[in-house]
Amino acid sequence: MRSAFFATVSIAALAVAGPAHATTLSLLIWEAYIDEQILADFTAETGAEVRQTLYDSGDVRDEILADPNSNIDVVVTNENGAKLYGKRGILTALDTGNVPALKDYEESWTKRCGGYGVPYLWGTMGILYRSDKITTPPTSWADIMKPAESLRGHIAMYDDHAEAFVAPLVLLGKSVNANDNETLKAAYDMMKEQAPYVLTYDYAITSVQSPDKGPNIWMALGYSGDQFTLNGKVGKPHLWRYAVPEEGTLSWLDCISVSERSKEKALALKLVDYIGNAQNSARNAITLNMPTANKAAMALLPEDMQSNPEIYAAPEILAKSQLQEELTVQSVQARRRILSSLAQFSDAR
């Protein structure tokens, strides 16, 4: 990513002080993607500090995870990443023997992590929009891919080889997992026509924090749940809203996994089990306003949260949603070339 955002956040013990040379676990995760009190409580119970390394792109995450010198203990990755890096021996195989919390997850969820992760949070992709600037909620991917003139220079897209193509491919009536050059060329043509309206290709949660770009972003490609994080960043609870286009979308699942390279494997497994148990899954879901896949945690969620369509997508939306599949190497390379071309066009402007 052209302007990848990295940071580390240390969560120290709150209730009891750890030993003089406390163990530290490294957690690779999206920004604002976990209830930090859960990590603080884990530190209080174990004396182990959890340090977050943040990413704002799946491509950036994968670069870090693939680096043998990255020193990552636990990672939140998407379902494809969990399966891919698990098969490559980078992630540890998980089951109820080493992560007892897995007993509270339906097989339909756990199999999507391929046996190398605990289902973490899930949702859809859609359109984020500022309700003070866009008073009529978007209903189609055309609203962001073929935008009104008033949106010129006010759109944030996403520099990721998988998610960046969801909008154009669905609008074209194609699979989000398309690998053929003809389909990718058609997607590129649409993305190139949209480019003059795009202010940035950085992830919305990153770019909204920019003093220069943030106030000028009115619409963005994003994930369900991002609206709550954006509102927290700008300090206005209901400013940002989220809509899923009528053509359908991507239904995604993130998994939390343990690195096979971890030098603190037992403790890393304990952290994943701690985050994934019913009580903490519910706490996390409530704090982040996002859906959990833990069936036991569902009973702990407020009814108004379970019935909120901005959190739990309606069945008719999920019925039209596609799941991610592993792309061919050639497709990934072609997609990255397209994104590089768009980035160069943006820089030139």
* Tens digits of residue pLDDT in 282-319: 999 999 999 999 999 999 999 999 999 889 988 999 99
pLDDT of 102 over the 70 cut: yes
Average pLDDT, the chain: 92
* Tens digits of residue pLDDT in 218-276: 999 999 999 999 999 999 999 999 999 999 999 999 999 999 999 999 999 999 999 99
Helix (H) or strand (E) holding 155: strand 155-156
Going by C-alpha positions, the residue among 157, 87, 155 that lies closest to residue 117 is 87
User: Which residues is 128 bridged to in the sheet?
Assistant: 220, 242
How far apart, in whole angstroms, are the C-alpha atoms of residue 255 and residue 72? 15
User: Which residues is 223 bridged to in the sheet?
Assistant: 125
- Identify the pLDDT of residue 11: 36
Section 13-36 average pLDDT: 74
Going by C-alpha positions, the residue among 67, 69, 85 that lies closest to residue 77 is 85
Same fold, 8-122+252-312 and 125-250+322-348: yes
What residue type is 218 in one-letter code? W
CB-CB contact of 255 with 113 (8 Å): yes
* Tens digits of residue pLDDT in 2-15: 333 334 333 333 23
Pairing, β 249-258 against β 74-78 = antiparallel
* Tens digits of residue pLDDT in 188-218: 999 999 999 999 999 999 999 999 999 999 9
- Identify the pLDDT of residue 154: 98
Q: What percent of the chain has pLDDT over 90?
A: 89
* Tens digits of residue pLDDT in 310-345: 899 889 999 999 999 999 999 999 999 999 999 887
Section 70-92 average pLDDT: 96
pLDDT of 1 over the 50 cut: no
- Identify the pLDDT of residue 344: 86
The four Cα atoms 78, 83, 84, 87 give a dihedral, to 10 degrees, of 150
Q: What percent of the chain has pLDDT over 70?
A: 93
- Identify the pLDDT of residue 13: 31
Please tell me which residue, 294 or 58, carries the higher pLDDT value. Answer: 294
Architecture of domain 8-122+252-312: 3-Layer(aba) Sandwich (3.40)
pLDDT of 349 over the 70 cut: no
How far apart, in whole angstroms, are the C-alpha atoms of residue 23 and residue 347? 43
- Identify the pLDDT of residue 21: 52
Going by C-alpha positions, the residue among 58, 61, 46, 53 that lies closest to residue 12 is 46
The fold of 125-250+322-348 is D-Maltodextrin-Binding Protein; domain 2 (3.40.190)
- Write the Ramachandran bin of 22: left for phi over 0, alpha for psi from -120 to 50, otherwise beta: beta
Helix (H) or strand (E) holding 272: helix 265-276
- Identify the pLDDT of residue 134: 97
Q: Which of 113-122, 178-187, 302-311 has the lowest mean pLDDT?
A: 302-311
- Identify the pLDDT of residue 22: 79
Domain ranges of the chain: 8-122+252-312, 125-250+322-348
How far apart, in whole angstroms, are the C-alpha atoms of residue 306 and residue 170? 27
CB-CB contact of 66 with 55 (8 Å): no
CB-CB contact of 291 with 122 (8 Å): yes
How far does CA 127 lie from the centroid of its chain?
Answer: 14
Going by C-alpha positions, the residue among 248, 327, 240 that lies closest to residue 289 is 240
Q: Taking each helix axis as running N to C, give the angle between helix 79-87 and helix 58-66, from 0 to 180 degrees, rounded to the nearest 10.
A: 20
